[in-house]
Structure 1
Amino acid sequence: MCQIGCNTVAIACYFAAKSKFGTVVAAAALPAIVACNSALGTRPAGCAALLILPIP
């Protein structure tokens, strides 16, 4: 569920930047798309941490 949430936010971010998720070449990305990608890169790391932390 966490990954779905992360990707949903990324798709919304791309939509707000008037782009389509998965179709932008990194070298030609607008600053808004670079920001979307940066945010998407940090979110799954947080999700992974939730998976490996022990549950009390």
Structure 2
Amino acid sequence: MKRITGCLVLAALTLNTAAWAADYPTKPITLVVPYTAGGPTDQMARSLAQGLPSN
């Protein structure tokens, strides 16, 4: 029983790798920061946004 379960898990993980090859995201991402501009949360969000890929 354990061998069958292991084989099924391995098959599921192998078949799931095709999803990683998809180009994601296909549309622009809007990053919403619900805090005031210039604060530490805003600065972190701006740094994060610079690291995101742009089309």
TM bracket (short chain): 0.3 to 0.5
Calculate the TM-score normalised by the size of structure 2.
0.39
Q: What's the TM-score, normalizing by structure 1?
A: 0.39
Q: Highest Rg: 1 or 2?
A: 2
Considering fraction of residues, name the structure with more helix: 1
Higher relative contact order (CA 8 A, sep 6+): 1
